[in-house]
Amino acid sequence: MKKVLLSALLSAAFVFGIFSPGFCEVGITDTEIHIGQWSPQTGPAAAWGAVARGTDAYFKWINANGGIHGRKIVHHYFDDAYNPARTIAGVKQLQERTGIFAWVGGVGTAPGLAVKDYLMAKDVIWVGPAAGSRNWLTPPHKNLFNVYPLYLGDAQLLNEYAINELGKKKIAVVYQEDDYGEQGLEGTKFTLKKYNMEPVAAIPVALGDSDMRPHAMRLRRSDADAVLLFVTPIAASRIIGTGKAMNYNPQWMSTTTCADCPLMMDITQGLYADVITANFGMRDDSEQVGDSQHINNPKMELMQTYKTEVFDRYAARDERWGYTFSLGIALAEPLVEAIRNAGPDLTHEKVIKELENLENFKGMLGRISYGPFDPEDPLTRIGQQSIFLHQCTEDGGSVILTDWIETEYIPMGE
């Protein structure tokens, strides 16, 4: 009797443990795929919480359309208030208690860095950290797939445009005192060096500082004719506004972080018109230099679909359709594509392979490509390197200023 029972148990273990791949993969069952994400829903960076809400609405839409190969996505997102200690606690809890197959997005460099080593040690896939930091690629990791173009690239393109197209001779940088701002400053110095130039002023902005008058005064004193802003949207609006109040009107330029023209026009009370920013997506292939764009009336068919199918149906009533919300969708697209391509027998390795196979993948952002993992080559995990510039207009839209331009990867220490 005992032998029969033992045989039955061993058979069951064999059948369910070996022949069923879902059993040995963390975060996957026959009906569900568990995907994790953190974002600040409260705290000073809470405006970026829309990234996770965008991803959530996107996953709900996918589930409503049958899921992926019959599996529903279970999206676990939590509020870390942009506090790395809370990010660590939340990620560990979800990873170890619930079991997460892959992480997506994840707002902020500091929270991301706090959990990067943990996630990599756990051999978990992480796609699209929501910050353009070189830290995701230094060194590259097999499981970490960058999507967001690096701020270093924003700096290159903005400076080159200011010098070559606008003929600016004196460029100043205002940078937030963190990884975001410092990479902007580094990218600026790197690019200006090619032209035997230096920033005429490099002015730090402390996080939480709400008074930008001294910063604007220093800018005016530097007599810069172009100013690059690597700061938050609020700080950018205050600097531009204070500049206007003191009759100082250089060419203001900023990054993808401040590229949401409707929002920026609103909070600057119209002063953001003519500001040039980097942009990394939401541009249809048919749109050319000189064409106008408006996020509320996108020409890109995919974006129209997301607006009507995802945002209108699944976003909360008070949610704002903007770049931050749609970025949440865009950052998740490569992961969804890879899971879909991996087929019904989903495994960690298959998804990695399918991500590596992505070449010129076009979702809402630019072209995204990865390659077979090479620990010496960050470009195998960089995702998107091309960006373009646009200039905000009075109506909250923008005019496209450049084609997609591939930026140079600047290794650490150069």
Partner 1 sequence: MIDFIQMIISGIAVGSSYALMALAMVLIYKASEVPNFAQGEMALLPVFIAFMIIYSYGYSVFAAFFGALVFALVLGCCLEFAIVRRAKNSNVLGLIIITIGLEMILLGFVSWKFGADERVMPSFPISSYDSVMFGDFYITTIDLLTLIVALVIMISLFLFFRFSKFGVAMKATQQNETAARLMGIRTNRVKMVTWGISGTVGSVAGLLIAPVIMDPYMMWDPMLKGFAGAVVGGMTSLPGAVFGAYIVGIVEHLFGGYVSMDFKAVVAFAVIVIVLCVKPSGLFARHYVKKV
User: Is 72 exposed, middle or buried, given 0-12, 13-18 or 19+ CB atoms closer than 10 A?
Assistant: middle
Q: Which two tokens mark 169?
A: 């001779």
- Residue 213 contacts partner 1 per CB under 8 A: yes
CB neighbours (10 Å) of residue 396? 19
Count of beta carbons in the 10 Å neighbourhood of residue 39: 30
Min dist. Cβ of residue 41 to partner 1 (A): 8
- Binding partner 1 (rule: CB under 8 A), the pick from 97, 211, 349, 360 is 211
Q: Does residue number 120 form part of the binding site for partner 1 (CB under 8 A)?
A: no
Can residue 242 be called a binding residue for partner 1 (CB under 8 A)? yes
How far is the C-alpha of 381 from the C-alpha of 393, rounded, in Å?
Answer: 35
Nearer to partner 1, 213 or 362 (CB): 213
Query: What residue has token string 């959990």?
Result: 115
Amino acid at 291: D
- What is the pattern of x (binds partner 1, CB under 8 A) and - over residues 281-320? -------------------------------------x-x
CB of 235 to partner 1, least distance (A): 10
Q: Map residues 18-47 to x or -, x wherever contact with partner 1 holds by CB under 8 A.
A: -----------------------xxxx-xx
Single residue of 21, 67, 204, 371 touching partner 1 by CB under 8 A: 204
Q: What is the H or E stretch that residue 205 is in?
A: strand 201-205
H helix or E strand, kind and range, residue 392 = strand 386-392
- Name residue 328's amino acid: G
H-assigned helices in 195-287 = 213-222, 233-245, 261-267
Residues 122, 218, 294, 353: which binds partner 1 (CB under 8 A)? 218
Q: Which is nearer to partner 1, 22 or 204 (CB)?
A: 204
Out of 27, 153, 233, 281, the only residue in the binding site for partner 1 (CB under 8 A) is 233
Give the C-alpha separation, 25 to 342, whole Å: 14
**Rounded CA gap, 76 and 69, in Å?**
20
Residue 271 is a binding residue for partner 1 (CB under 8 A) = yes
- Only one of the segments 92-100, 209-217, 359-367, 398-406 lies at the binding site for partner 1 (rule: CB under 8 A); that segment is 209-217
Backbone torsions φ then ψ of 271, nearest 5 degrees: -75, -10
In which residue are the tokens 């495994």 written? 347
When the beta carbons of 208 and 413 are compared against partner 1, the nearer one is: 208
Residue 273 interacts with partner 1 (CB under 8 A): yes or no: no
User: What is the binding site for partner 1 (CB under 8 A)?
Assistant: 41-44, 46-47, 49-50, 177, 203-206, 208-211, 213-215, 217-218, 221, 233-234, 237-238, 241-242, 244-247, 263, 266-267, 269, 271, 318, 320
